[in-house]
């Protein structure tokens, strides 16, 4: 992640001497310019700045093709500002929008075609140096860059409805990441996989809004994350080869309707016409639901953020929240094993912690906690009684920071055994263990774990599930 090949003819520059009069830059900011974008970091990390510009540039062609642009419409570079601290982001938001996007942690402005993002999760400077651009920030940069590119190509963009602007940006971001290999498959990546899982839950709970509502802007009542998940899946649905001509026509329509107060109603009517009228849109509902249900998400992020690339997964927790990644596939056997290696990276927390957990929310769960100080603890959470008990603990010399430690959690219907570097370190009895459970990986607030080659194997079943 730290090193990448520069293949875009990027021009790396330093702030000193550059004519950015409106920017309160400091001598140690990292600034990089690409063909269409420039990235200004309010901190010094040339590697992160270069990863950011490569990410932004990766969306350009996809956006151009989608809007049917035949020529390069670049005027002056579109600027993406990255802030390293919450305070700096909030100050920038207060100055530019009066604090409208304080909660969002990222926003793009129509007026000067600039995007502003907090590097998420907030990390120590030395952690960023080590792990590079966090995967979550990469997705957000691609998303905001898609907005900025649209602002520069489509003159009536400010009138577009949310399902179009956000569905488009979310779709373009995942496409760009897939194309560049920063995401292996939408089912494997916790960010997109979680959107799939959210959309599926909407369908199975019978709470998916009809497409007619979505098109006419009636889905605003939904939770923001669910809304984006549905918009994204709708774009993926419409981008299937059989539907793509209709989507292309809709994107053309969006550019042809006159900007202004009438836009949304007029555009919605024309989209329905394009899709063959109200009855046809109703029929499309069923197809869309089937499309959503056919997706096979591997993960659901309970708390962000984890980036899964091949068998190296980087889990960076936010400063005040434990990151939790849960596998969507349940364990059906009463005996199973979760194994791999873990590497703790120094970050904001004084004592880093990495967690392996399994269980069921309503019945309770078991968490194995590996701490940097060398403790291995097995905690059992009893949901009904709202309490946690420690059922096993062992003190070690400390888990080596910055190098891999292999672990193995063996679970049978009676007990749990935890191995580190091949040696049994702690075991405990497990009564009332239910054989059907979920499992996942966690990292405590302010900590970073790099997981290597983690897999779960059901015993008596030779098929490993990664
Ligand atoms: Zn957006």
Put simply, whether the predicted model's pTM sits higher than 0.85 gets the answer yes
Highest mean pLDDT among 57-71, 223-237, 359-373: 223-237
The reply to whether 7 and 121 lie within a common domain is yes
Distance 36 CA to ligand 1 centre (A): 19
The reply to whether 265 and 204 lie within a common domain is yes
Distance 167 CA to ligand 1 centre (A): 8
Distance 157 CA to ligand 1 centre (A): 13
In 215-305, where do the E strands start and end? 299-303
* Count: domains in the chain: 3
Stretch 365-382: mean pLDDT: 93
Distance 331 CA to ligand 1 centre (A): 36
- Amino acid 220: pLDDT: 75
CB 326 within 8 A of CB 440: yes
Indicate the pLDDT class of residue 72, thresholds 50, 70 and 90. Answer: low
The reply to whether 53 and 98 lie within a common domain is yes
Q: What is the pLDDT of residues 420-429, one digit of tens each?
A: 999 999 999 9
Stretch 378-397: mean pLDDT: 91
Burial of residue 151 (number of CB atoms within 10 Å: 0-12, 13-18, 19+) = buried
Distance 407 CA to ligand 1 centre (A): 40
Instruction: Classify residue 248 by its DSSP letter.
Output: H
Stretch 210-217: mean pLDDT: 94
- Amino acid 18: pLDDT: 29
Mean pLDDT of the residues in the chain: 89
Which of residues 246, 268, 297 is at a domain's end? 297
Helices 224-238, 190-204: crossing angle, 10 deg rounding: 100
Domain interval for residue 361: 300-465
CB 374 within 8 A of CB 397: yes
pLDDT at residue 213 greater than cutoff 70 = yes
The reply to whether 351 and 453 lie within a common domain is yes
The reply to whether 119 and 141 lie within a common domain is yes
Distance 143 CA to ligand 1 centre (A): 6
Distance 147 CA to ligand 1 centre (A): 7
- Amino acid 26: pLDDT: 60
- Amino acid 463: pLDDT: 45
The reply to whether 316 and 442 lie within a common domain is yes
Which of residues 263, 297, 331 is at a domain's end? 297
Q: Is the peptide bond before 452 cis (omega within 30 degrees of 0)?
A: no
Distance 282 CA to ligand 1 centre (A): 27
The reply to whether 228 and 148 lie within a common domain is no
Distance 107 CA to ligand 1 centre (A): 7
The reply to whether 211 and 350 lie within a common domain is no
Stretch 329-340: mean pLDDT: 91
CB 142 within 8 A of CB 149: no
Distance 74 CA to ligand 1 centre (A): 21
The reply to whether 306 and 235 lie within a common domain is no
Assign 3-state DSSP to the chain and report helix, strand, coil percentages, each to 5: 35, 30, 40
- Amino acid 12: pLDDT: 25
The reply to whether 116 and 32 lie within a common domain is yes
Distance 51 CA to ligand 1 centre (A): 20
Q: What is the pLDDT of residues 236-285, one digit of tens each?
A: 999 999 999 999 999 999 999 999 999 999 999 999 999 999 999 999 99
CATH code where residue 41 lies: 3.40.30
How many residues are recorded in the chain? 466
Distance 108 CA to ligand 1 centre (A): 8
């Amino acid at each position: 992640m730290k090193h990448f090949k520069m293949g875009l003819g990027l021009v790396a520059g330093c702030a000193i001497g550059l004519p950015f009069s409106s920017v309160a830059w400091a001598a140690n900011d990292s600034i990089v310019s690409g063909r269409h974008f420039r990235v200004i970091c309010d901190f010094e990390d040339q590697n992160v700045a270069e990863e950011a510009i490569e990410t932004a540039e990766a969306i350009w062609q996809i956006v151009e093709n989608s809007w049917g642009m035949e020529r390069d419409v670049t005027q002056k570079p579109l600027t993406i500002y990255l802030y390293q601290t919450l305070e700096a982001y909030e100050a920038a938001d207060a100055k530019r929008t009066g604090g409208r996007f304080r909660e969002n942690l990222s926003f793009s402005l129509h007026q000067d075609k600039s995007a502003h993002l907090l590097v998420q999760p907030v990390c120590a400077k030395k952690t960023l140096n080590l792990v590079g651009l966090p995967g979550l920030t990469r997705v957000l940069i691609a998303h905001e860059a898609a907005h900025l590119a649209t602002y520069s190509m489509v003159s009536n963009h400010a009138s577009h409805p949310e399902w179009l602007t956000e569905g488009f940006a979310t779709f373009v971001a995942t496409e760009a990441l897939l194309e560049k290999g920063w995401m292996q498959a939408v089912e494997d990546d916790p960010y997109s996989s979680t959107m799939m899982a959210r959309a599926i839950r909407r369908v199975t709970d019978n709470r998916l809004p009809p497409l007619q509502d979505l098109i006419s802007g009636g889905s605003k009542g939904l939770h923001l994350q669910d809304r984006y998940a549905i918009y994204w899946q709708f774009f993926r649905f419409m981008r299937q080869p059989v539907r793509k001509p209709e989507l292309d026509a809709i994107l053309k329509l969006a550019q042809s309707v006159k900007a202004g107060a009438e836009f949304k109603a007029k555009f919605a009517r024309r989209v329905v016409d394009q899709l063959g009228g109200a009855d046809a849109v109703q029929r499309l509902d069923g197809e869309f639901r089937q499309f959503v249900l056919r997706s096979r998400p591997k993960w659901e992020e309970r708390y962000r953020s984890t980036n899964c690339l091949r068998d190296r997964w980087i889990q960076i927790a936010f400063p005040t929240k434990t990151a939790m990644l849960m596998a969507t596939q349940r364990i059906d056997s009463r005996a199973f094993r979760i194994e791999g290696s873990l590497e703790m990276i120094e970050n904001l927390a004084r004592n880093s912690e990495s967690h392996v957990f399994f269980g069921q929310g309503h019945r309770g769960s078991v968490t194995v906690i590996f701490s940097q100080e060398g403790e291995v603890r097995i905690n059992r959470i009893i949901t009904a009684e709202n309490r946690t008990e420690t059922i096993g603990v062992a003190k070690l010399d400390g888990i080596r920071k910055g190098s891999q430690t292999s672990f193995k959690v063996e679970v049978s219907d009676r007990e749990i055994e935890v191995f580190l570097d091949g040696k049994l370190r702690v075991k405990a009895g497990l009564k009332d263990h239910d054989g059907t459970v979920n499992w996942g990986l966690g990292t405590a607030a302010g900590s970073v774990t790099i997981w290597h080659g983690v897999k779960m194997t059901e015993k008596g079943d030779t098929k490993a599930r990664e």
